[in-house]
Amino acid sequence: MSLETWLAFAAVSAAILASPGNVVMLIVSYALGRGRKSMLATIPAAALGTLVAMSIVIPALGWLLVVAPEILDPVRWIGGAYLVFVTVRSWRAPGGATPLADNDNLPEEKPLAVMRHAFVMTGLDRRSYASFVALLAPFLKPAIPLIDQAAVFVATFLGLAVVSWLAAAIGAERVHGFARRHSPKRAANRRNGNVLIASSSVTAGYRKIAA
């Protein structure tokens, strides 16, 4: 694998991991709601789930690369668009439907249950598989042994992921504040409030004219 390919993969991976997606917000929520010690449960479980998902996606893509390489071309284009969409959506609506920490009801409390929750979010979520297909398809090369590529890609992504998740857990208050400011519910409430204010103003003006 060339250095340029590895740098490109690392850059794309870092950009995806820097976005406040579901996994990041889950780790942040537990860090705020259960304390930073919760990262001892959430981060290893998320890493294991990521390893499972990548271990399934890479052989599947490798099989396509040998049997039907022409299928990978549209997958690369569609996958790139999908990654852009997911990343932009994560910044516009951080965490999606993931509970946002202290004022919400986190679903699990016991460490094993927290680990199971984090594992399901990464290793058993169809969106994880779609994201990994989109991420990995452009970088797999038929001329290089699949096992060698898999080792580099998995190690790189997991290393960056653990660093990103640790940073999110340590800076949970700031990430949570950003998510609160950009949450769809808050935006909807703000819009509804503006509508109510405007309606009240119109009603008051109508009453004044009618009087």
Residue 107: count of CB within 10 angstroms of its CB:
11
| Residue 198 falls inside a structural domain | no
| Residue 30 falls inside a structural domain | yes
Task: Quote the percentage of the chain above a pLDDT of 90.
Answer: 43
pLDDT of residue 111: 84
83 confidence band (pLDDT: 50, 70, 90): confident
Assess whether pLDDT exceeds 80 at residue 81: yes
CB 72, CB 137: distance < 8 Å: yes
| Residue 39 falls inside a structural domain | yes
| Residue 193 falls inside a structural domain | no
Judged on CB neighbours under 10 Å (0-12, 13-18, 19+), 167 is: middle
Burial readout 184-206 (b: 16 or more C-beta within 10 A, e: otherwise) = eeeeeeeeeeeeeeeeeeeeeee
Q: What mean pLDDT comes out for the span 157-167? A: 96
CB 94, CB 23: distance < 8 Å: no
| Residue 104 falls inside a structural domain | yes
Q: What mean pLDDT comes out for the span 180-197? A: 45
The residue ranking higher by pLDDT, 91 or 2, is 2
List, for residues 9-60, the tens digit of each pLDDT value: 999 999 999 888 889 989 998 998 888 899 999 999 999 999 999 999 999 9
pLDDT of residue 182: 65
Token pair 């990103």: residue: 164
Judged on CB neighbours under 10 Å (0-12, 13-18, 19+), 179 is: buried
| Residue 206 falls inside a structural domain | no
Q: What value, to the nearest 5°, has the Cα angle with vertex 123 and ends 92 and 55?
A: 115
Q: What range defines the domain where residue 121 resides?
A: 3-179
Count of domains for the chain: 1
pLDDT of residue 40: 93
List, for residues 107-125, the tens digit of each pLDDT value: 556 888 899 999 999 999 8
| Residue 208 falls inside a structural domain | no
CB 168, CB 175: distance < 8 Å: yes
| Residue 167 falls inside a structural domain | yes
